[in-house]
Every structure is written in C-alpha cells, then in structure tokens.
Amino acid sequence: MIKTSPVYKKALLSTALAFGLVTSGVGLAANQKNALPEIGVVASSAISLDKEIQIGDVLMRQLRGQAPIINDPLLDEYIQDLGNRLVAQADNVKFPFEFFLLNSADINAFAFFGGHVGVHTGLIYNARNESELASVLAHEVSHVTQRHIARSIAAQQKSSPLQLASALGGILLALANPEAGIAAISAGSAASAQASINYTRQNEKEADSIGIRILAQAGFDPNGASDFFGTLVEKYRLKSRTPAFLLTHPLPESRVADARTRAASYKTGRIAPSLSFHLAKSRILARYYATPEYNINYFETSLERDSYTFKAAAEYGLALAYLADKQNEKAGDLIDSLLQKDPRNLFYLDTYTDVALETGRVQDAIDKLTAQAVLTPRNRVITLNLANALVKNKEFDQAVRLLKDYLLVEPENMLAHQILSDAYAESQNKLEMHQTKAEVYALAASYPRAIDELHSAYNYAGTQNIEKQRIRARIEQFRAFQTRLESL
C-alpha cells in the first residue's frame, strides 16, 4: 500500500446521501407529489447537464479536502470496476461515473451531481456477497441516470425559488457538516415536508426498479437488493441507532417485498462468489478497521476453523496483518505463496511491493511491477506502486515520466500528484514540486493554498519566461475556479 502524508486533516465525520438530503428537505406542491417528470425535459429546465457536471466537480473537490476519502489504488480499482459493470447496463448515461470510497464504518452510499457515487467502507464490509454490494451501487447509479436531484429541483422551482436556493446551499453545507446541512434544508411547513417525503419515496421506488434491472443485466443476483434490505432490517431491529443507509433511503416493509417481486421476474442462475470482493473485505478490515493483533488472531482463527469463503482472502488478510505488525518474513511467505497460484492478482502484487520495500528489496519490486506494467499499462495499482518504488530507488526521472503519462489519462488522481510531488522534492526540483503541490491543493478546492504554491514556483522559474507565463495563466485559472466555487 502506498503511503503518503495527507495534505489536509479530515474534518467530515460522516457524509449523508446528497440526493436524500435534497429531497427530504425541499417542499413540493401537494398536487405535484405523484408526478414523475420526463427525464431530461423538466429536469433540464432547472439545471443543465453542463451545470450539473460543474456542481459535481465542485462538490467532489470539497469532499477531497474535508471527507475521509481513501486514496487506496486497490480498493479504488475494485469499486470503479464493479461500478462500471453496472453503468454499462444503464440507460441515459450522460457522463462518466466516478466511484470512490470513504473510510467510515457506516453502512451507506450516496450519489450526487455529475455521476459521483460515494461508498462507505462499512457497506462493503457488511455486505455478505458481491450481489448485495452491487445492488446498492445499481440503486445509486439509477438516482444519477434518472437525474433525481435535478428533477426535485425542477419541482421545487415551481413552488418557491427561494427554497430552491436554500436547498442548493444545504447540499454544500451538508457535505461539510451533516447536522447543520440537514437543519438548513429541513426548514419549512409540515405540509411541504410531507409532500417532499412522498416524492422521495417515489424516487426511491423508481431507483429500486431500475437498479434491479441493471443488477440482473450485469450478471448479478437480482435478489441482492431484497437480501441486503432484509439483512439491514434484521441487524438493526433491536438497536436504537438506525444505519445511515436507512436514514437516507426510507425503507417501509413493502419495499423489501416489492424488491423480491421485481427480482422474481428475472431468470437467475448460480452466481459464483467473487474472490475480489472478499479480498476487498479482508483489506478493509486489515488496513482500516482493527489493530494488527486483533487481525492476526481473526484471520488465523478463520484459517484454523475453515470459516471463510475463500482461503486465499483469509491468507491475504493475514499477510496484511503480519505486515502491519512488522512480521515481514511471515507476510512475505504468505504473499509469495499466493502469487505462485495467481501471479497477476493486483491485491497480491501490491502487498508484495510493500513487503519488498519494507525489507530493502526495492529492485525486486521494480522488476516484478515492470513486467506486469507491460501487460497492463496505465493500470492504477501497478503504475502508482511502480512509481512509488522508483522514487524510493531514487530513479526520479523514470518515476516522473511514468506519472506524467498516467496523469494524461487520470488527471484528477490525487495520489499520483502526491507521488509526483515527492519525486520532485527528492530530486530537489523546487519549481515542479511547487507546481505539482498546487494541483494537489486545487483537487481539494483549496485554491488560495494552490495559488500560494504557484507563487513559490514562480520564484524558482528564474529566467524561464515561458514557464512564468504558464504559471501566471494557471494562477488566473485558479482564481476563476475560486470565484465559480463562491458563486455556486
């Protein structure tokens, strides 16, 4: 796992479903509560697709600076691949989807403007199989493709432009401070609140229906949705604390039955369990949840009792736990054994790299990753691990070339920018270091800090007049972005 120093302290304790926050707080006229606007017609009158993308970009940048987003190439690769399989079966896809993870034990997921879908690690950890996890992602994809936020705004526009402005402000506030955000957008009469709840349920029903179709067409078990709902209801039946997912997704008893009925209309065969899903669960526990001592005991006990779906996933989790406990030799033995059976598995290659770097075998890591990079160029796991290993081996020029090539394809990958900044810092290239740091700050919507970094870069530009002009132009861009942020 690549470790870099965080640019910002994480201030967001939990993130609520952006769609749920909007629709639970804005009022609708009573005679509109059962209306389902035509997709892209009424919605576009409230907010254009271009505007939706702009707002989504702003919200995503703010989340990077405030929320506990995980910059973990392996988990990012897994959740994006899973999400893409679902998006490929969806209609009305207007823009690329970005799936990202937050380090939170809450069982929750949320979608907002521009195709952004956030997933809490607690959702993956508590799902019993990949179809249950995929059912939640399919539901969120449906919220986006049906433009439920824009449709809610369109309906609200007809009753009160002032409340519309309050709702949009509430979205931004809620992402930074959930309790304050909910309070900001919940003001209004009891009648408008009830109308809004009815509209929310209607949207949820629509997202359920479309989500289950997407789920089945993508090759997952369409019963994943009803199974997941049933698991949540049973798990929290006797507990006072309601999970975040149920707070933002109203769950009357009829919803579970409706999901089962819809799933019955699709043919289902045996769905093989997913090794990647169970490897992701093991990684979340070993890397983000418990202590090394607990994890060693947990995975050793699982292996002794044969209480696992995949033995490889339990062994992988144990290797991570050993590595975190500085038992590098034991970790290395397990990973070497796993790689012999599955030499191209990204989870194993990532941990092999970690063990090699910890034990001073940097060149071994570079050799293995380079061979894999030939087979899978620009793969985020291989590329970022290889670049990090090259920096550790003081091969700065090669690391820079690799990262710049990758950033042409993934220009908003914050971890790539951070490793690139480290490469420039280690090679004493202050000009490029400050410019790259500026891009990191900009990705977190911290434009004043980004501009400060560019001023520092300008001072190192010396007589490079063309470079100075480029820096000045980027400063003006960041100032314009800051203005746009304030206007939104």
Q: How far apart are CA 70 and CA 123, in angstroms?
A: 14
Active site residue 354: no
Phi, psi of 386 (to 5 degrees): -65, -45
Phi, psi of 119 (to 5 degrees): -130, 125
Is residue 121 within 8 A of residue 109, CB to CB? The reply is no
The answer to the question of whether 278 is labelled as a binding residue is no
Is residue 211 within 8 A of residue 203, CB to CB? The reply is no
Structure tokens at 76: 């990012």
Q: Catalytic pick from 72, 106, 132, 208?
A: 208
Query: Taken in order 103, 106, 107, 109, is the CA torsion positive or negative?
Result: negative
Element at 283 (helix H, strand E): helix 275-284
Q: Catalytic pick from 140, 354, 395, 453?
A: 140
Structure tokens at 370: 């380079």
The answer to the question of whether 139 is labelled as a binding residue is yes
Q: Angle at the Cα of 375 (from 385 to 73), degrees rounded to 5? A: 30
Torsion angle, CA of 104/107/113/117, rounded to 10 degrees?
80
- Nearest to residue 245, comparing CAs of 135, 92, 170? 135
CA-to-CA dists, residue 35 to 154, 160, 211, 366, 424, angstroms: 12, 17, 20, 59, 56
Query: Taken in order 62, 67, 72, 76, is the CA torsion positive or negative?
Result: negative
Q: How far apart are CA 125 and CA 106, in angstroms?
A: 10
Active site residue 140: yes
The catalytic residues are 140, 208
Binding site, residues?
139, 143, 204
Binding site for Zn(2+), residues?
139, 143, 204
